[in-house]
Amino acid sequence: MVEISFPMSEASRHRGIEAAPTYLNLTTPFFHCIIQPLIPADKLAVHFHDTYGQALANILVALEQDVRTIDSSVAGLGGCPYAKGASGNVATEDVVYMLHGMGMETNIDLDALVDAGSFISNVLGKESDSKVARAMLAKRI
């Protein structure tokens, strides 16, 4: 089972260490050489913004290394106040869709998640940054 924790900073205080590289592409060699020898996977959480479209690829590398705590944001909302131009966190809808496609159990109802993201995006007057949500909502019309 994959756990998606909100907010990650609170979860990481209780679980272990959070890897949150805003501009980093988390490659398998980087993970093997630097992170994995120092931190057990069950004590590591990942938090990725999708500024360069690499968040899902980075999450996949983390999953391959047995990391099971992933930070994400409904509709990809948010940002990074100290990293100029950074987008919001990776959209939870996109992460859940990928995990379900990989056969991983999340106990998350993707349709309900898309509805929640659509609701908050409408309240904020902002389009969802989730590619999955946009595709699923377009099919409903």
Catalytic one of 20, 39, 80, 137: 80
How far, in Å, CA of 46 to CA of 58, rounded?
Answer: 9
**Integer angstrom CA distances of residue 128 from 1, 22, 31, 49, 64:** 26, 20, 31, 14, 28
Active site (annotated) includes residue 80: yes
How far, in Å, CA of 27 to CA of 10, rounded?
Answer: 26
Q: Residues with catalytic annotation?
A: 80
